[in-house]
Amino acid sequence: MKTSEAGAPRSAAIQLSGVNKRFAIRRKETLTALSNVSASIGHGEFIALLGPSGCGKSTLLRIISGLEDPTEGSVEVEGQPPARLIAEHRLGFAFQEHALLPWATVAENIALPFRLAKIRVDDARVRELVELVGLTGFENARPKQLSGGMRQRVAIARSLALRPDLLLLDEPFGALDEITRRRLNFELARIWAETGVTTVMVTHSVDEALLLADRVIVMGTRPGRILTEVEIDLPRPRTVESMATNRFAELSTQLVRLLDQDNNAKVKP
Amino acid sequence: MKRSLRLIQSIAGAVILCALWEVLGQTKVLGPSLPALSTVLGTLFAPNRAKLFTTAISATALSAALGLLIGGGSGALIAGARQTISWTRPGLDRFAALIHAIPQVAIAPVMVIVFGRAGSPIAVAAIAAFFPAYAASTRAFAAAAQSHQDLFTVLGSSRSARLLRLDLPAALPGLADALKLAAPGAVLGAVLGEWFGAPKGVGILILSSSQNYDIPLLWAGALVSTLMALVGFGVFAAVQNAATRRLT
Amino acid sequence: MSALKSFFGRWWAVLAVVLLWQAIVTVFGINQFLIPSPWEIITGIAGDPTQFLLPLALTLETAAIGFVLGVTTGYLMASLSWLWPVFGAALTPFALVVRAVPFVALIPVLTKAFGYSETTSWIICAMVCFFPTFVLVGTGLHDVPANGNDLFSVAGASRFDRYRRLAAPASLLALATSIRVSSASAFAAALISQFLMGVPGLAYVLANALDRLNMTLLWGAAACAIVVGFLAYLTANRFEAYVLKRWR
DSSP per position, C82-95:
HH-HHHHHHHHHHH
Q: A80 has which bridge partners? A: A77
Q: How many domains does chain C have?
A: 1
Number of domains in chain B: 1
**Position B73 in a domain:** yes
Q: What is the pLDDT of residue A193?
A: 85
Q: What is the 3-state secondary structure (H, E, C) of A3-43?
A: CCCCCCCCCCCEEEEEEEEEEEEECCEEEEEEEEEEEEECC
Residue A157 has pLDDT above 60, yes or no: yes
Question: Per-residue pLDDT tens for C49-72?
Answer: 888 889 999 999 999 999 999 999
| Exposed e or buried b per residue across C3-38, where buried means at least 16 C-beta atoms within 10 angstroms of its C-beta | eeeeeeebbbbbeeeeeebeeebeeeeeeeeebbbb
HEC sequence for B173-222:
HHHHHHHHHHHHHHHHHHHHHHCCCCCCCHHHHHHHHHHCCCHHHHHHHH
Residues of chain A above pLDDT 70, percent? 92
What is d(CA A42, CA C209) in angstroms, rounded to the nearest whole number? 82
Q: Which CATH number is B236's domain given?
A: 1.10.3720.10
Q: What is the dihedral of CA A245, A249, A252, A257, to 10 degrees?
A: -170
In chain A, where the domains are located? 14-90+164-267
Q: With an 8 Å Cβ cutoff, are A103 and B150 in contact?
A: no
Q: Are B16 and C206 inside 8 Å of each other by CB?
A: no
Identify the pLDDT of residue C1.
Answer: 60
Specify the pairing of strand A215-220 against strand A46-50.
Answer: parallel
- The single-letter DSSP state of residue A102 is T
Q: Kindly identify which residue of chain B lies nearest to residue C30, measuring between CA atoms.
A: B114
Pairwise CA distance, residues C56 & C226, whole Å: 11
pLDDT bracket for residue B120 (50, 70, 90): very high
Cβ contact C201:C54 at 8 Å:
no
The minimum CA-CA distance between B109 and chain C, rounded to whole Å, is: 6
Which of C47, C65, C71, C82 minimizes the C-alpha distance to C220?
C47
Which of C33, C204, C206 to mutate to test binding with chain B, by most B CBs within 10 Å of its CB? C206
Predicted pLDDT of residue C93: 67
User: Mean of the pLDDT values across residues B197-219?
Assistant: 86
Question: From the CA of A58, how many Å to the nearest CA of chain B?
Answer: 13
d(CA B42, CA B56): 17
Q: Which residues of B touch C112 (CB under 8 A)?
A: 30-31, 33
pLDDT surpasses 90 at A230: no
| Contacts with B94 (C-beta within 8 Å, 6 or more apart), sequence order | C10, C11, C13, C14
Select from B169, B101, B183 the least CA-distant residue to C183: B101
Chain A: residues touching B (Cβ < 8 Å): 62, 65-67, 86-89, 91, 93, 95-97, 99, 101-103, 112-113, 115-117, 144, 168
Q: What is the pLDDT of residues A216-229, one digit of tens each?
A: 888 888 788 888 88
CA-based nearest distance A245→chain B, Å: 38
pLDDT of residue A143: 85
Q: What is the pLDDT of residues C160-215, one digit of tens each?
A: 888 888 888 888 888 988 998 888 889 989 998 888 888 888 988 988 888 888 88
Contacting residues of C for B98, CB less than 8 Å apart: 14, 226, 230
Count CB atoms within 10 A of the CB of residue A133. Answer: 23
Residue B28: inside a domain: no
Contact B165 A144 (CB under 8 A): no
Q: How many residue pairs bridge chain B and chain C with CB atoms within 8 Å of each other?
A: 125
Contact B165 A115 (CB under 8 A): yes
Kindly indicate the confidence band of residue A73, based on its pLDDT and cuts at 50, 70 and 90.
confident
Contact, C150 vs C94, CB < 8 A? Answer: no
Structural domain contains residue B242: yes
Domain presence at residue B6:
no
Q: pLDDT by residue (tens digit) across A183-211?
A: 888 888 888 888 888 899 998 888 888 88
Q: Provide the CATH topology of domain A14-90+164-267.
A: Rossmann fold (3.40.50)
Q: How confident is the model at residue A266 (pLDDT cuts 50, 70, 90)?
A: low
**Partner residue opposite B105 with nearest CB, options C97, C109, C191:** C191
Q: Which of A96, A97, A116 sits opposite B152 (nearest CB)?
A: A116
Please choose, from the candidates C203, C204, C181, the residue with its C-alpha nearest in 3D space to the C-alpha of residue C191.
Answer: C203
Print the domain residue range for C57. Answer: 48-247
Question: The complex's ipTM?
Answer: 0.83
Mutation test of the interface with chain C: which of B40, B98, B227, choosing the one with the most C Cβ atoms within 10 A?
A: B98
Nearest chain A Cα distance for residue B81, angstroms: 24
Q: Judge: A89–B156 Cβ closer than 8 Å, yes or no.
A: yes
Which residue of chain C is at minimal alpha-carbon distance from B25? C109
pLDDT at C95 over 50: yes
Per the CB < 8 Å rule, is B248 touching A87? no
Please name the member of B154, B157, B161 whose beta carbon is closest to the beta carbon of A91.
B154
Among A145, A125, A199, CA closest to A168: A199
User: Domain span at residue B166?
Assistant: 55-195+202-247
Q: How far is CA C92 from CA C82, C88, C158, C232, in A?
A: 12, 6, 25, 29
Please give, rounded to a whole number of angstroms, the shortest distance from the CA of B218 to a CA of chain C: 6
Return the pLDDT at A264. 62
If you count residue pairs, one on A and one on B, with CB atoms under 8 Å apart, how many are there? Answer: 59
Hey, are the CB atoms on A116 and B145 less than 8 Å from each other? no
In a domain, B130, yes or no: yes
Mention every residue, 6+ apart, whose C-beta is less than 8 A from residue B148: A99, A101, B166, B170
Record: contact A112-B165, CB cut-off 8 A: yes
Q: Is residue C13 part of a domain?
A: no
Model pLDDT, residue A269: 43
B97–C13 C-beta distance less than 8 A: no
Q: What is the pLDDT of residue B59?
A: 93
How do residues C203-244 score in pLDDT, each as one tens digit?
889 888 888 888 888 999 999 999 998 998 889 888 888 888
What span, in angstroms and rounded, lies between the C-alpha atoms of C45 and C39? Answer: 10
- Per-residue pLDDT, C67: 94
Q: Looking at residues A53-62, what average pLDDT do you find?
A: 83
The residues that bridge with A245 in the sheet, in sequence order, are none
**pLDDT of res. C213:** 85
Q: Cβ separation of B20 and C195 shorter than 8 Å?
A: no
Q: What count of residues does chain B have?
A: 248
Establish if C32 belongs to a structural domain.
no
Q: Would you state the pLDDT for residue B57?
A: 92
Count of CB atoms situated within 10 Å of the CB of B97: 17
Helix ranges (H only) for chain B are: 2-27, 37-44, 50-67, 73-84, 89-101, 104-141, 146-154, 159-162, 168-194, 202-211, 215-247
Per-residue pLDDT, B1: 47
Contacts C192 to B, Cβ<8 Å: 105, 192
pLDDT at B38: 85
CB-based contact C191 B103, cutoff 8 Å: yes
Q: Which residue of C has its CA nearest to B114?
A: C35
Q: Is 70 exceeded by the pLDDT of residue A1?
A: no
Contacts B174 to A, Cβ<8 Å:
none
- Following DSSP, what letter does each residue of C126-178 receive, concatenated? HHHHHHHHHHHHHHHTT-PPTTHHHHHHHTT--HHHHIIIIIHHHHHHHHHHH
- The percent of residues above 70 in pLDDT, for chain C, comes to 92
Q: What confidence score (pLDDT) does residue B64 get?
A: 94
Q: Confidence band (pLDDT; 50, 70, 90) for A2? A: very low
Average pLDDT, stretch A244-262?
Answer: 83
* Structural domain includes residue B43: no
For the domain that residue C95 is a member of, what is the CATH number? 1.10.3720.10
The answer to whether the predicted template modeling score (pTM) of the entire model surpasses 0.90 is no
